[in-house]
Structure 1
């Protein structure tokens, strides 16, 4: 299995999945710990944790949802075979078992959450808020239905999630990464290097004579696979999303203006002021201090007298809504710049308020936001229509209608593409322009066949139905069909070979003590520099391989790497530096938080593994293999 995973992770998709797949899990559990407890039992139950059973259907639904999430994230679907190669099937099972173990522990500890608290969490979820910013029942129903939940099931699920978080928070409370680790990672991340470099291009390769017919034919024979005509498919599809349906609705100015008035403050930019305050125990002391200011004492000197630091006094550049105490807010936003208020009786005492810089607010006109508001209103209305059209479309498809026939009957616009390859390109090499951005209908079509009744794809809060209408198999092209492409590729290979040889020769001379500027001048090259870049830098005009290679090269060392098309880079590392670590900086605080999350995940993984052992976990291997496609 390890060999298979290494092989799978060698391509682009494997690297992405192996690096990010755990981000899709609710909790990251780093230890499997139950690989030796598989044994067979009833097919309806896939796993059992204590008294909690995970049904095969329940796991299959969870597994399918996770695969779809990854497909949407990376713009192409993840097949069952790929998922198993990456170990994703076991990670999802691990998640389900871990959640069940936490649920068992919550019951054992007697933890609970009231219906009122659960509903409060749901009502405050921004995913369920409508145009006016309030909880929208229709939106709630549409969203949970899209992910396969009933209302009862979703509420119960959120209650369980909340209880799991209570346990996780208790287990991980107080974890702090050691400063030694923070400093080591900071030095690694913030190490900086500087290089001087030259770019060898086609000019340095010299004149390349056209290839003889025999040479070109031989080259073509050796590289035929690069010039094959790809497989093409003819597909049709229809898109039903709230945004598309919302275009059919007409929203009046009266409706849009109503929302505009409700959200005027949020749509505009509020006035902000630099506010400082000094709080006194009572109005009498505040008034005496105000009289001293009127007699010439500065506000800052008064603060120093009272032993206050600037951070104790300065509230920063804030909007009125950001000041918690209404009395202080009113005083601050009625004064001109540079003035000190009379005593204002707030919740925490009597305060003197001083105003510094004032940034005027900006209120948008209705006209500037009318179109976006109307679109938002129309889209919100259309969510209910999506569910209705979904059912009608499924009825038509169930009756044997093709996507085009069903779309015509329902008054929807179907799209037909006569020929498209796996990359979404037409035979002329151009990307298919009539596929909405983010819609992965091409990969789905290449995983299907002519005459197959495909399940709809979830997309932008709606659905996409598609049919494969025809398949043009991949084939070998003749040399006459692609002669220009073959000759261009042969020439590029010749240039690359010559540049690599020249770069290697230059590096050898520099390693033997040659001067970088002299060697560059001898080849007619211009020396350029890149200074103070880190490992994650993107250097203008240079490929990422330059940064990667430079950080493997010692100070004074020389390296080379391929550049862009018909280009090669030779460089010398001129400086290596590591900035001092400031444990109080914002960057270090972010790094510390990242490490804390990692420690939390590890601590929680150990805790859950212990729970699984104590509670007892069994897994139906046959049901697991069937749910993940291993038996297909």
Structure 2
């Protein structure tokens, strides 16, 4: 597959397609923001760009989080070896460096972002929306604390993200894919083909006599590494997560009603107002501006004089709870429509606030929000319980208790797995069933050792503690141990070889004028058809390899391809059609948008690469190898 990707991306069209399909992930993270990773400077530096340092500990946390995210997406842990094989180690490193480069350039250019725009980004973040769909300050504070932020540092982080977007938007303005490219990709994507095909399986391979002892022994000797026993480890672990602890049905109506009464004004549809503000550095300038407004200067003209854009001034139609600055919020919701406030001393300076239209709110009922409130209360209680159990678990571990001993003392259920390999499989080849989905405890255990006191893994809002109890080294197996597996593999190879030979003969006869139906009858098979399919089609009973091969074959041409371990496909392309290109269709509009994103990502990637070269980037390769497991 990798060879195919490299081949496909070697020409101009392939490069554009790969950019569209895969995107430039590195720059996407750098522009749109991830966690604040450049807080402070560690004593051990992994990378440096300009004046910005990335410490080894900071990168280790980022890298671990990324592998855990991928593990949760695929439902199984990703080992350090697999991550390096996929190039994820370099990708994550380049992401963090790309962020640093954009931040460094923003500082060099003297870019800034208004407080109003930063607040707009925060209040519009869906992660901070409450039950009623409006910004919830309590949820905001709880969420940022969970990720180690103070409000001040989070606001500063979002301002950096906004500055990255400014740079990205500037260098990508005006990019538009050429019409010829859109048409070429449309034809490529929408081309349709039809084919007739024959499936060859074990029945067409004939009788396979059992191998002689000498043949089987020789086959095994040539492939000993394929039958080698992997390294196994015995591990134990215990998980403490809010999901395991919290059960929302246990929250009483009495408790939920108390919370409802406390939040009644935020749970319904709150009153919303069109709020505009201008922030001044001091009270004198603000008062002077207020006097000018009183004498006839409009609020909008005053904003223009100060070089402010509408987006810098207008907070939009907003609820009181969505305004981060309490002083501004109180002033805004005490004025009638059309009025401008007196100077208000806020967090970011002295503000004048103007009110536009006012929309009255709708009060919520307890019955409409009871279920959501109970779930929220249960989750918060579970977080508190998790924190308590975490501290107790750490105390037990600090006192020398094993994971199993500590779990037993605290009334928790520990899991012990006697033998598991790096891929999470038992000696019988089955995946371990009692590891929570997305938990990479196996890969972590293979990076540890017996007797090591491991740091807990953060998982699903909680923690997982684990011990390595024993190690069984990898070893060569004898033929007697795996005789059945070896014989089955030998038989599959014999069937595949015979089917490949038979398929080659059939294709040669078709190319010489023979009919597929006649050749199918001669081997005791039947002809099937597939009509009007595209490159990305998924057809019942037709392997993806056959669809791909059909698009490499000319009309009326014949071909063959493996369909599975014991199946071969012989086919003939019967029709090729290209639907007309309609640039006004919704499909073409979406394709154009996708191409624009791809071109934008590529433009930003080139820009960041140039930045990194101009500013100067250094990487501590030894520290990088240590974090990503390359030294193990």
Q: Normalising to structure 2: TM-score of the pair?
A: 0.69
Whole-angstrom distance in 1 between the partners of 2:462 and 2:122:
22
2:249–2:374 contact (8 Å) kept in structure 1: no
Pairs within 5 Å for 1:481-492: 481-492=481-492
- Show the counterpart of 1:302: none
Q: Is the Cα–Cα contact under 8 Å of residues 240 and 386 in structure 2 kept in the other structure?
A: yes
Structural mapping, 1:352-363, within 5 Å: none
For 1:594, the equivalent position in structure 2 comes to: 594
1:225-624 superposed matches below 5 A: 225-247=225-247, 250-253=250-253, 375=375, 377-609=377-609, 611=611, 616-619=615-618, 621=620
1:23 to 22, 25, 31: 25
Moved more, 569-578 or 110-119: 110-119
Distance 2:158 2:437 in 1: 32
- Closer, same or farther in 2 for the Cα pair 1:437/1:44, shift >3 Å? closer
Note if contact 1:47-1:54 (Cα within 8 Å) is conserved in structure 2: yes
Say whether the 8 Å CA contact 2:23–2:601 is kept in structure 1.
no
**Is the CA contact (8 Å cut-off) linking 1:171 and 1:603 kept in structure 2?**
yes
Q: 1:162 Cα shift?
A: 1.3
Measure, in 1, the Cα distance between the counterparts of 2:390 and 2:510: 68
* Structure-2 change in CA distance of 1:138 and 1:420 (3 Å): farther
Paired with 1:52 and 1:479, the residues of 2 have a C-alpha distance of 57
The Cα offsets for residues 45-95 of structure 1, whole Å up to 9 and x where unpaired, read as 666555555555545544554454445445566666766676655554544
Distance 1:458 1:200 in 2: 50
Aligned to 1:180: 180
1:624 Cα offset (Å):
6.2
Q: Aligned with 1:113: secondary structure?
A: coil
Instruction: Say if 2:50 and 2:616, in contact at 8 Å, map to a contact too.
Output: yes
Distance 1:419 1:130, change over 3 A: farther
Q: 1:311: which partner in 2?
A: none
Match for residue 352 of structure 2?
none
The answer (yes or no) to whether the contact 1:194–1:574 under 8 Å persists in 2 is yes
Do the aligned partners of residues 158 and 388 (structure 1) sit closer, same or farther apart at CA in structure 2, a change above 3 Å counting? farther
Shift of 1:152: 3.7
Structure 1 Cα separation of the partners of residues 209 and 432 of structure 2 = 37
The 3 A distance-change label for structure 1 pair 423 and 88 is closer
Which residue pairs with 2:162 in the alignment? 162
Deviation at 1:117, TM superposition (A): 4.5
Q: In the superposition, relative to structure 1, how do residues 107 and 201 fare at CA in structure 2: closer, same or farther (>3 Å)?
A: closer
- State the partner residue of 1:102: 102
> How far off is 1:435 after superposition?
1.3
1:298 aligns with none
Report the aligned-residue RMSD.
Answer: 4.1
CA shift, 1:532, in A, is 1.3
**8 Å contact kept, 2:47–2:619:** yes
Consecutive unaligned residues of structure 1, counting only runs of 5 or more, are 10-15, 30-41, 267-365
Structure 2: which 5+ runs fail to align? 10-17, 32-41, 268-366
Report the alpha carbon displacement of residue 577 of structure 1 after superposing the two structures with TM.
Answer: 1.3
- CA-to-aligned-CA distance 1:102-159 (integer Å, 9 cap, x gap): 3344345544334554345334422244556555666555644554544443332111
CA distance in 1, matches of 2:577, 2:254: 63
1:187: how far off?
A: 1.0
Q: 1:161 deviation in Å?
A: 0.5
Tell me the secondary structure at the aligned position of residue 563 of structure 1. Answer: strand
- How many corresponding residue pairs? 507
How far residue 469 of structure 1 moved from its aligned partner, in angstroms, is 1.0
Could you tell me how far apart the structure 1 residues matched to 2:501 and 2:551 are? Answer: 23
Deviation string for 1:473-507 (max 9, x for gaps)? Answer: 33333433333333333322222222121111111
Contact 2:24-2:598 within 8 A present in 1 as well: no
When residues 449 and 43 of structure 1 are mapped into structure 2, their CA distance, relative to the original with a 3 A threshold, is: closer
* Inter-CA distance 548–247: structure 2 relative to 1 (3 Å threshold): same
CA displacement at 1:230 relative to structure 2:
3.2
Report the 3-state secondary structure (helix = DSSP H, G, I; strand = E; otherwise coil) of the residue aligned with 2:470: strand
2:209 is matched with 209
- 1:218 maps to 2:218: yes
Seen in structure 2, the aligned counterparts of structure 1 residues 110 and 542 have a Cα distance that, compared at 3 Å, is same
Equivalent residues of 2:68, 2:440 under 8 A apart: no
Task: Write the distance in 1 (CA, Å) between the matches of 2:227 and 2:612.
Answer: 54
Q: Rate the CA distance shift 1:250–1:520 in 2: closer, same or farther, 3 A.
A: same
- The 3-state SS of whatever aligns with 2:518 is helix
Distance 1:436 1:215 in 2: 44
The whole-number CA distance in structure 1 between the counterparts of 2:428 and 2:611 is 59
Change (3 A) 1:428 1:631: closer
Shift of 1:529: 0.6
Q: Equivalences for 1:134-145 in 2 at 5 Å?
A: 140=140, 143-144=143-144
Structure 1 516/45 Cα, relative in aligned 2: closer, same or farther at 3 Å? closer
For each residue in 1:370-410, what CA deviation from the matched residue of structure 2 results, as whole angstroms up to 9, or x when unmatched? 98885565234323333343333333323332211222233
SS in 2 for 1:430: coil
Q: 1:513, CA displacement in angstroms?
A: 1.3
Output the CA distance in 1 between the equivalents of 2:385 and 2:501: 65
My pick for the range that moved more, 230-239 or 599-608, is 599-608
SS at match of 1:451: coil
